[in-house]
């Protein structure tokens, strides 16, 4: 008997048919991958299972019995839990309070706090229960979602891009957790664009394209290339990352000390770095080690830095507003797509106005045709699947919205681009496109700073690497001299002893 059976599920939205008579079966204890390019309909299908979306047609059976899941609470009552790609957390509540909301009302908050600690200890998902969610990085918020799902003791666990901002060490721990759950009979639906993960973890794989199932395979018998062909119809193009001679320093940080603004934040201590014209500097690190604080200082969201501590083309900008920095040529892509990178309810055209004001006249008049044209150019250039410039940002899949936001800033031809998690939640084809555009921007002379928890990505596109740990920055390494093992050790803050040892040997 199957744990879950879906037959002929369809869901039509105004601009697209997200699911077109889809069928899916999942066995008890099976880790079942759902693979597809951005906009293939995967997330919609998962929301149907979880009761967050009502299908237009089709049937669902749970442990052999027909069911209609009217809302997420009904899904949880059946034993279905879901970890969304876009988090469903209340920023002003603590971790424990957010988890508490998804559990039985008879459970005391103190018991929830204790159980969170137990789950963290067992599965290596480090989170402080008393910490307000608004102080957490994206990676830490993802851990909260996973912990909340695990505490419900699910029969079916749905994971939508669960490792998109987790470090390799955290991914290994998560996989151990998932295998333990599957061994106890829990079924797992696993959505990911990381083909290596699917091949290493999953027992079965359903492939989707254009809202339909196009194939079912045993991922252990496939290669990355064959899975890519099933997903996007072709293998992703190879990146051409040729060494370049970097130019003059564009962005510089000098001995930046910045105390935390939040009790759970991280103090920045003596940070120094340089990004030159025509180079990509990658920053690696475990989530929550000062990335948020550094990005806020660079973007202008936190203007407390001494003016001279941050310079752009030699000019002090440490206390300039984000707008002044954009006018000077510094553009920024935050890690949070909805709410910071884009306003969910605004159209794509209107969202261009958040950072692109060339369509506004000096007198303040808005050129609506120019705004639409700009949005359409970004949509076409970055292959964004959307219902045109007037489509609301919230109507796009996560990966397509990411392409639009990244495209909006690259298309501005900045002097310096600071970008966080550039390919979070995008498929292999879209990731290749974004990385290719970043390299092209570098080749055009832009100085690019990339903050990412994807080590493979950083090794693929960076010219030099630094590591951030506990609010400090390591020395910079040319990528040719870096290894995953060395960077992984530095992510624990171990570069100090190594650098001291190198200096002693040189002496």
Q: Rg (Cα) of the chain, in Å, rounded? A: 23
**pLDDT per residue as tens, the chain (507 positions):** 899 999 999 999 887 899 999 999 999 999 999 998 888 899 899 999 999 999 999 999 999 999 999 999 899 999 999 988 767 889 899 999 999 987 777 789 999 999 999 888 877 777 899 999 988 877 788 789 888 888 888 999 999 888 766 666 677 878 888 998 899 999 999 998 888 899 999 999 999 988 999 889 999 999 988 888 888 777 777 777 888 899 999 999 999 999 999 887 899 999 999 999 999 999 999 878 999 999 999 999 999 999 999 999 999 999 999 999 999 999 999 988 888 999 999 999 999 999 999 988 888 888 899 999 999 999 999 999 898 999 999 988 888 999 999 999 999 999 999 999 999 878 888 888 999 999 999 999 999 999 998 888 999 999 999 999 999 999 999 999 999 889 988 987 878 656 545 544 444
DSSP category for residue 393: G
The tokens describing 69, both together, are 């899941």
What's the CATH code, domain 4-232? 3.40.50.300
H or E segment and range at residue 65:
strand 65-67
Alpha-carbon distance values, 66 to 25, 52, 69 (Å): 14, 18, 10
Phi/psi region, residue 357 (left: phi>0; alpha: psi -120 to 50; beta: rest), is alpha
Helix (H, G, I), strand (E, B) or coil at 153: coil
Q: Give the separation between CA 269 and CA 200, rounded to whole angstroms.
A: 39
At 424 the pLDDT is 82
* Cα–Cα distance for residue pair 184/189, rounded to 1 Å: 15
Report d(CA 110, CA 113) in Å as an integer: 5
Instruction: Locate the DSSP E strands across 291-415.
Output: 310-312, 315-316, 330-333
Copy the structure tokens of residue 20: 């077109």
Residue whose tokens read 């475990």: 286
Domain ranges of the chain: 4-232, 249-329+414-506
Q: What is the pLDDT of residue 174?
A: 81
d(CA 275, CA 135): 28
Fold assignment, 249-329+414-506: Rossmann fold (3.40.50)
Q: Pull the structure tokens for residue 415.
A: 């002097």
Helix (H, G, I), strand (E, B) or coil at 490: helix
Say if CB 479 and CB 463 are below 8 A apart.
Answer: yes
Determine the pLDDT at residue 65: 96
pLDDT at 500: 47
pTM of the model: 0.75
């Amino acid at each position: 008997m199957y744990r879950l059976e879906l037959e002929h599920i369809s869901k039509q939205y105004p601009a697209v048919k997200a699911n077109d008579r889809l069928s899916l079966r999942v066995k008890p204890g099976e880790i079942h991958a759902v693979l597809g390019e951005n906009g293939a309909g995967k997330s919609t299908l998962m929301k149907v299972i979880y009761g967050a979306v009502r299908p237009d047609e089709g049937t669902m059976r749970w442990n052999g019995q027909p069911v209609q899941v009217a809302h997420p609470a009904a899904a949880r009552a059946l034993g279905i839990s879901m970890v969304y790609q876009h988090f469903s957390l209340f920023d002003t509540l603590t971790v424990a309070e957010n988890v508490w909301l998804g559990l039985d009302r008879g459970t005391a908050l103190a018991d929830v706090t204790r159980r969170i600690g137990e789950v963290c200890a067992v599965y290596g998902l480090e989170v402080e229960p008393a910490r307000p969610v608004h102080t957490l990085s994206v990676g830490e918020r993802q851990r909260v979602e996973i912990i909340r799902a695990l505490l419900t003791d699910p029969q079916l666990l749905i994971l939508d891009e669960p490792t998109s901002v987790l470090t390799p060490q955290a991914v290994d721990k998560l996989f151990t957790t998932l295998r333990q759950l599957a061994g106890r009979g829990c079924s797992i639906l696993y959505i990911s664009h990381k083909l290596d993960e699917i091949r290493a973890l999953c027992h079965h794989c359903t492939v989707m394209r254009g809202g339909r199932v196009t194939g079912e395979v045993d991922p252990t018998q496939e290669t990355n290339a064959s899975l890519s062909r099933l997903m996007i119809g072709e293998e992703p193009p190879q990146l051409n990352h040729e060494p370049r001679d970097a130019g003059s320093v564009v962005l510089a940080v000098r001995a930046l000390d910045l105390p935390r603004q939040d009790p759970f934040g991280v103090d920045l201590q003596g940070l120094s770095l340089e990004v030159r014209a025509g180079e990509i500097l990658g920053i690696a690190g475990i989530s929550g080690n000062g990335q948020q604080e550094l990005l806020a200082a660079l973007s202008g969201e936190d203007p407390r830095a001494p003016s001279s501590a941050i310079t752009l083309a030699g000019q002090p900008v440490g206390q300039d507003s984000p707008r002044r920095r954009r006018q000077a040529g510094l553009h920024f892509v935050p890690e949070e797509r909805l709410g910071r990178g884009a306003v969910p309810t605004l159209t794509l055209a209107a969202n261009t106005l958040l950072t692109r004001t060339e369509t506004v006249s000096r007198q303040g008049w808005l050129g609506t045709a120019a705004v639409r044209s700009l949005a359409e150019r970004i949509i076409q250039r970055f292959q964004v699947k959307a219902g045109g410039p007037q489509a609301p940002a919230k109507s796009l899949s996560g990966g397509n919205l990411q392409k639009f936001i990244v495209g909006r800033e690259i298309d501005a031809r900045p002097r310096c681009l600071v970008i966080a998690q550039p390919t979070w939640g995008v498929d292999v084809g879209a990731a290749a496109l974004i990385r290719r555009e970043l390299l092209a921007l570098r080749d055009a002379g832009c100085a690019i700073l990339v903050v990412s928890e994807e080590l493979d990505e950083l090794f693929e596109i960076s010219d030099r690497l630094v590591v951030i740990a506990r609010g400090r920055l390591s020395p910079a390494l040319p990528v040719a001299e870096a290894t995953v093992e060395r960077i992984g050790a530095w992510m624990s803050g171990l570069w100090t002893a190594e650098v001291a040892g190198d200096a002693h040997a040189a002496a």
